[in-house]
Amino acid sequence: MDLKSVIRTIPDYPKPGIMFRDITTLLTDARGFRRAVDELVQPLAGAKIDKVAGIEARGFILGGAIAHQLSIGFVPIRKKGKLPYKTISESYELEYGVDEIEVHVDAVREGEKILLVDDLIATGGTAIAAVKLIERAGGDVVLCSFIVDLPDLGGADRLRALGKEVVALVQFEGE
């Protein structure tokens, strides 16, 4: 199965000129979803991973499935104001401003090995903020995993420049 074939492309969403890569079609395809999770777990064979951290919202779906398959805990990385306990936060720039993500102060212990998961890597702003957040909490991000990479936007390369290993299952060039 070609995972790329079960990812829907929506032109001009959320604004003109954007080709939105919608993984919900992959999630509703049982074989595609299973294959994606298996392929995201495969690079971890033999590695010691303590927890999976998923970036809101689609990273929750993928990260939860991966954490279940690895029999390890899951850490939600959420937008500001969504977590009920004490948090630490990290800001990042958007095209049109600044946003923040948060994690509970006790979600990651010093020295834990963390797998960071999200559906897509574009410019890398959110993923880089998530890496910084996990590291401030005491964790070590050992791998950043995505279903989709938009390599022309440079996010995966920005993560690699921070010394992070990056895995993406499919690439869409020219985005």
For domain 47-171, the CATH class is alpha beta
pLDDT at 171: 97
**Catalytic choice (58, 78, 90, 112):** 58
pLDDT at 4: 96
Annotated catalytic residue 58: yes
Which three-class secondary structure state does DSSP give residue 44?
helix
Q: What is the pLDDT of residues 101-150, one digit of tens each?
A: 999 999 999 999 999 999 999 999 999 999 999 999 999 999 999 999 99
User: Could you say which residues of the chain have pLDDT below 50?
Assistant: none
Rounded to the nearest 5°, which phi and psi values hold at 91? -90, 155
Long-range CB pairs of 25-34 (<8 Å, 24+ gap) are: 26/147, 27/61, 31/1, 32/1, 32/3, 32/6, 33/65
Phi-psi region of 132 (alpha: psi -120 to 50; beta: other; left: phi over 0): alpha
- pTM for the complete prediction? 0.95
* Domain residue ranges of the chain, discontinuous segments joined by +: 47-171
* CA-based nearest residue to 107, from 146, 58, 54: 54
**Catalytic choice (21, 34, 95, 110):** 95
